Structure 1
């Protein structure tokens, strides 16, 4: 699994209640109390994933979307939650208003959440490592190496701050369990600045995953959700030959990827790197990624057969 999106585990039943409790909390103690309710759910999910994968690699991405996505927008839902959580309606409205962002894609999300609220990263680390330890004990013939991905990093100091939280938490749990378990902390390269400073980021990251969906959005400066309204005019006028979200833009975004690969290897020769996103299922994009030195492809499940074939063809066509 090249990308396990942990936020998808938060949306049901008691889980969404606990995450909302965390969001409306205005102090660390209350946030930790709410996160303690979520942690067993996350740990259980990770245990299930590790069991299903039978020792094969799993990259777990920490919380990525902005917090407003977990809160209601309709007034009747807001009123209902206010009663359910015993929170004054005015306070809930104030929280929702404070989380409003004009451009959420470039807002308070990804590693910025963990920098603001490190207790989130501590909880997710606890869930990942506990799950891995429990499954490893059940299956001593497997070798589990948890891979933790910190999303949306643009500055190495961001990554170091969050990584320090992860390492401190993970090392304490592993030591208490008396088990010898290795784990890796890496990042998603999805901001142009991260690609440009990949030599610095590789000092802290043990792996790179190129999130080319967001990297394309931020490099072109338009939203994947809105670009369809005007891109057809660009195709008609031959300004763009194809959809850059379907086929990786090798002249622009591709140069950033190639640069990041080169810079990353300069700092950490053994760093492993992959592509994660819709481009991972596009044969021409996969071939390009193979040429510039990526190690693996992660894409939507239904694209996996195409990606495997494309990766095999690229390896035969361009042997390293």
Structure 2
């Protein structure tokens, strides 16, 4: 890590970087992302024999010497549970900041302040089964996964016989009806719906109000731009989602009760760059067909260098131009 920053001719500061950890059926990987995304990602670990569980994540943090750097961490909520020693799945108290009762649906949209969770100690704190591996103040809320959670609740609340859900079925013929009913979309698909004017024409009045409020939050809060009235936009969206009949998930709870915990610029501290690394490594794993070693990671690093327009390389082809 120090040699990498030396090559950039700048002093290495851990506070300038954030750690992203993710896993798939094939591997568990860690990557270091620059806050502000001015520099390329730095792969730290790629493990093909460990599964996504508490012991494996703890082993990885020890190998990358996390206790010496203590980077900020931006991961999905499932990985956040591993890092903080919390029980995964649909639990009664899933929030690591307060004692929000996920089953007390009567107070979800009315009670904003819940008792503060003072400690994360196994057998003494609810839903904590292991010792935390990181300080919870180092955990950043993942804007991309919160966005995916919002579109999921919006889709699940739609009338399955209505015009809006029917339009979704025609817009994404490659998705199964089960995924559509569950509201499982990715980032590009959400951007496609935001750009599609015909999608709004398929909605009724309540659905349209909720969708427009969601788009405003995506453009003015969950991205590079943070409007001055972002708190008002989030409140209006949650109200519109309640009118639509959406259940409050843990991701919506973070927006409702812990707005002050979000970074100033979510675009520069997002998990979306980590997901891009996840997809790039997935393509590399497919290309190497199980021969995953240092050569594969070197190939990935070469692709990063090739993405720099000003970088010179010896593999560039010369184009001959003939004057008429």
TM-score, with structure 1 as normaliser: 0.34
TM-score, with structure 2 as normaliser: 0.33
Whose radius of gyration is greater, 1 or 2?
2
Structure with more of its chain in helix, by fraction: 1
